[in-house]
Amino acid sequence: MVVWMELSGVTTLNLEFLSGNVTPIEPDHCTGWRQLPFYVLVNNSGAFSKVETSDRNWQVNDGESYVLPPNLPHRLTVLRGEHPVSIWCHFRLTLYQSIDFMKFFELPDKFTSPASDRIRDYCRTLVAPAPPVTIPVLRLMHWKTAGFTLVNEILRHCEQHPGVDEKIAMLERLSRAIDYMSRHYRNRPLLEEVARRANLSESRFTVLFKQLMKVSPGEYWQSLRLMKAQEMLFAGNHTVEETAEALGFYDVFHFSRQYKRHFGITPAEFLRRQRRHRSPF
């Protein structure tokens, strides 16, 4: 995983490129139902595909691109094609370590030409091996440039939700507190300490936080811990029991209840889906 950081004033924007490739696929390939903890970008060249979610489905034509948000249950099926190839990547774009920046925009079902052509080409650049260089920081610059160019192209063709500018302004006011909570997801930080980071009293901080995030600071911290749990399970290196213990849950039963309440499925079911369906994209 490569993490890039951009600073503008006190705003920290993180782009995480988690994986990606250019992969030959079978004409009838199906991912099976899955739920992933990051954005999924796919461009299938030489193939017509179908995207299914829990409440709708649509067709994606040869060469068109689409982006699916984290934790959207979905199934991707290649309907037909001749020697199809998938150009894909998995990524996240966050403010203050945890705020999903892409949620400020309305993603279309798909991107058509010429935007799709540029998205495909930028994705190819991102997932290709970095040019041979002797200075490691130049390799990082290559990935950074390719990643932000790709995301910029995606967002240029998305509608921004109303009130985003005002929300970001308020986020900046609470940024130090949000960033602190994001870095202390394993052990619940004291509300007094979190509020102090924003130079606010506990009561005033709680009011502003709930107004902005629609949940209490405690509920938000719990969501951070559960998202980390999902990442650990997806990586495949931890059992449900090990994940619960590592993140400080009372026991595996409490962890499973909280996980299902947040994601809609139990952690055990999430692992079963992962093992049952391994997809090249």
Q: What is the CATH number of the domain that holds 106?
A: 2.60.120
> Does 153 share its domain with 32?
yes
Residue 91, pLDDT > 80, answer yes
pLDDT at 139: 77
pLDDT over threshold 80, residue 99: yes
Helices marked H in 101-251: 115-127, 136-156, 164-173, 175-183, 191-197, 202-213, 217-235, 240-246
Please check whether residue 222 lies inside any domain of the structure.
Answer: yes
Please indicate, yes or no, whether residues 58 and 145 belong to a single structural domain of this protein. yes
Residue with the bigger pLDDT between 140 and 216: it is 216
Look up the domain containing 51 and give its range: 2-160
58 neighbors 107 (Cβ within 8 angstroms): no
CA distances from 92 to 77, 118, 151, 160 (A): 23, 20, 10, 18
Residue 169 maps to a domain: no
Quick count: other Cβ atoms within 10 Å of Cβ 92? 20
Q: Tens digits of per-residue pLDDT, 120-134?
A: 999 999 998 877 767
Q: Tell me whether residue 281 is in a domain.
A: no
CATH of the domain at 187: 1.10.10.60
Coarse DSSP helix, strand, coil percentages of the chain, rounded to the nearest 5 percent: 45, 25, 30
Shared domain check, 192 and 94: no
141 and 214 inside one domain? no
